[in-house]
Amino acid sequence: QPPQILAGKTITITAGPTREPLDPVRFISNHSSGKMGYALAEAALLLGANVNLISGPVTIKAPIGANLINIESAEQLLNEALVYAPQSDAFIGCAAVADYRAGEVATQKMKKQGDELTLTLVKNPDVIAAVANIEKNRPYTVGFAAETQNVESYAKGKLVNKNLDMICANDVSQSGLGFNSDQNALTLYWQNKQLELPVSSKSTIALKVIEQLAKHL
């Protein structure tokens, strides 16, 4: 058993995709499998933390010992995040949250119509920014950045604009890494330093992320 450096600490992790309904049978979502977030939960448990795992719909099993909270939409994720974040020492936003949802969700199945269909989308709340701006009992707040270009500048922009303590950037244009793969590579950024975590399994990467996080708790 590794040293229990997170004994007595509570970490809340979001994982997986969100689903934004269009009507009773359709939704907008993305390719997140939950593997990265679940690996982070497993690593935090291994180092002795109490873990809340707020998860979108995925097909993998939650690690034993995690407190699993299931959500579907970004709005549901926000509600749960605001319950668990103030009770946590750290919060990690690894979920792939939809930036937009349907402006109106049809109550009945939409019927096939003409050759084109226009959907109006409205902006979702930014969950990690809301957590990072909690006034009372704000946790150490860690975001992820999934980018296909300008990885460093976009990630640093999110670190600052969302008021995060740390951000884990992945280049999701690289095949075999990022969404729905077993491996990943990350660059971790803080305000004044950075650290490369080269390609390895999501479980190895997750342990390194959690060890870095532990230094700040």
146 contributes a contact to ligand PMT by CB under 6 A: yes
How far is 81 from 192, CA to CA, in rounded Å?
A: 27
165 contributes a contact to ligand PMT by CB under 6 A: no
97 contributes a contact to ligand PMT by CB under 6 A: yes
Contacts of 101 (CB under 8 A, 6+ apart): 20, 21, 28, 73, 74, 75, 121, 122, 124
Catalytic residue among 30, 67, 70, 79: 30
Known binder of ligand: residue 91?
A: no
- Binding to ligand PMT in span 180-209, by CB under 6 A: 180
Known binder of ligand: residue 139?
A: no
Residue 33 C-beta: closest distance to ligand PMT, Å: 3
- Binding to ligand PMT in span 31-50, by CB under 6 A: 32-37
71 contributes a contact to ligand PMT by CB under 6 A: no
Which one, of 188, 24, 11, lies nearest residue 89 by Cα?
11
Q: Which stretch binds ligand PMT (CB under 6 A): 1-9, 19-27, 42-50, 123-131?
A: 123-131
Q: Is 52 a catalytic residue?
A: no
Residue 46 C-beta: closest distance to ligand PMT, Å: 18
Which one, of 67, 61, 22, 26, lies nearest residue 49 by Cα?
67
Burial of 152 (0-12, 13-18, 19+ CB in 10 A): middle
Residue of 22, 128, 166, 207 interacting with ligand PMT (CB under 6 A)? 128
Note whether 10 and 50 are within 8 A (CB): yes
Binding residues for CTP: 93-95, 99, 109, 125-128, 144, 158, 162
Binding residues: 93-95, 99, 109, 125-128, 144, 158, 162
Name the site residues for ligand PMT (rule: CB under 6 A). 16, 32-37, 74, 93-97, 99, 124, 126-128, 143-146, 158, 170, 172, 178-180
